Amino acid sequence: MKILTVVGARPQFIKAAAVSNIIRKEHNEILVHTGQHYDENMSKVFFEELKIPKPDYNLEIGSGSHGEQTGKMLIELEKIYLKEKPDLVLVYGDTNSTLAGALCASKLLIPVAHVEAGLRSFNSNMPEEQNRVLTDHISKLLFVPTQAAKKNLHNEGVQSGVYNVGDVMFDAVLNFKKLAEQKSNIINLLNMEDKEYILTTIHRAENTNDINRLKNIIEALNESNKTVILPLHPRTKKYVDSYGLKFNNNIKLIDPVGYLDMITLEMNSQKIVTDSGGVQKEAFFMKKPCITMRDETEWVETVENGWNVIVGTDKNKILDAILNFKTSEDQQNIFGDGKASCKILDIINCIVK
Ligand code: UD1
Ligand code: UDP
Which residues in the chain show pLDDT less than 50?
none
Task: Give me ligand 1 centre to Cα 245, in Å.
Answer: 20
Task: Count CB atoms within 10 A of the CB of residue 227.
Answer: 16
Q: Residue 140 burial by CB count (10 A; 0-12/13-18/19+): exposed, middle or buried? A: middle
Contact between 149 and 118 under an 8 Å Cβ cutoff? The reply is: yes
**DSSP structural state of residue 53:** P
- Both 148 and 293 in a single domain? no
pLDDT value at residue 328: 87
Atom 14 of ligand 1, residue of closest alpha carbon: 10
Calculate the alpha carbon distances from 285 to 54, 118, 169, 183, 220 in Å: 28, 20, 9, 20, 26
Q: Give domain status of residue 331, yes or no.
A: no
Total domains present in the chain: 2
- Both 186 and 161 in a single domain? no
pLDDT value at residue 329: 84
**Close Cβ partners of 44 (under 8 Å, ≥ 6 residues apart):** none
pLDDT value at residue 165: 98
Q: Where are the beta strands (DSSP E) in 202-269?
A: 228-231, 251-254
- Both 340 and 319 in a single domain? no
- Both 199 and 239 in a single domain? yes
4 lines ligand 2 (CB under 6 A): no
129 lines ligand 1 (CB under 6 A): no
Q: Give domain status of residue 189, yes or no.
A: yes
Q: Give domain status of residue 102, yes or no.
A: yes
pTM of the model as a whole: 0.98
Contact between 73 and 81 under an 8 Å Cβ cutoff? The reply is: no
207 lines ligand 1 (CB under 6 A): no
- Both 269 and 156 in a single domain? no
Best residue among 47, 279, 292 to mutate for probing ligand 2's pocket (most ligand atoms within 8 Å of CB) is 279
- For residue 272, the SS3 value is strand
- Both 7 and 132 in a single domain? yes
- CA-nearest of 59, 54, 109 to 82 is 109
d(CA 102, CA 135): 6
d(CA 30, CA 13): 14
The dihedral through the CA atoms of 11, 17, 18, 23 has a sign that is positive
CATH number at residue 304: 3.40.50.2000
- Determine phi and psi for 227, rounding to 5 degrees: -75, 125
114 catalytic, yes or no?
A: no
Task: Count CB atoms within 10 A of the CB of residue 249.
Answer: 7
Give the DSSP letter string of 167-191.
Answer: -HHHHHHHHHHHHHHHH--HHHHTT
The minimum-distance atom of ligand 2 relative to the CA of 169 is: 15
pLDDT in tens, 235-291: 999 999 999 999 999 999 999 999 999 999 999 999 999 999 999 999 999 999 999
Contact between 183 and 28 under an 8 Å Cβ cutoff? The reply is: no
d(CA 52, CA 159): 32
Q: Give domain status of residue 329, yes or no.
A: no
- Both 87 and 229 in a single domain? no
Contact between 250 and 227 under an 8 Å Cβ cutoff? The reply is: yes
Q: Residue 196 burial by CB count (10 A; 0-12/13-18/19+): exposed, middle or buried? A: exposed
Q: Residue 346 burial by CB count (10 A; 0-12/13-18/19+): exposed, middle or buried? A: middle
pLDDT in tens, 61-105: 999 999 999 999 999 999 999 999 999 999 999 999 999 999 999
Task: Count CB atoms within 10 A of the CB of residue 328.
Answer: 11
Task: Give me ligand 2 centre to Cα 61, in Å.
Answer: 20
- What is the residue range of 105's domain? 2-167+336-351
d(CA 63, CA 205): 14
pLDDT value at residue 352: 80
d(CA 336, CA 349): 20
- Both 84 and 206 in a single domain? no
d(CA 78, CA 83): 9
- Both 161 and 179 in a single domain? no
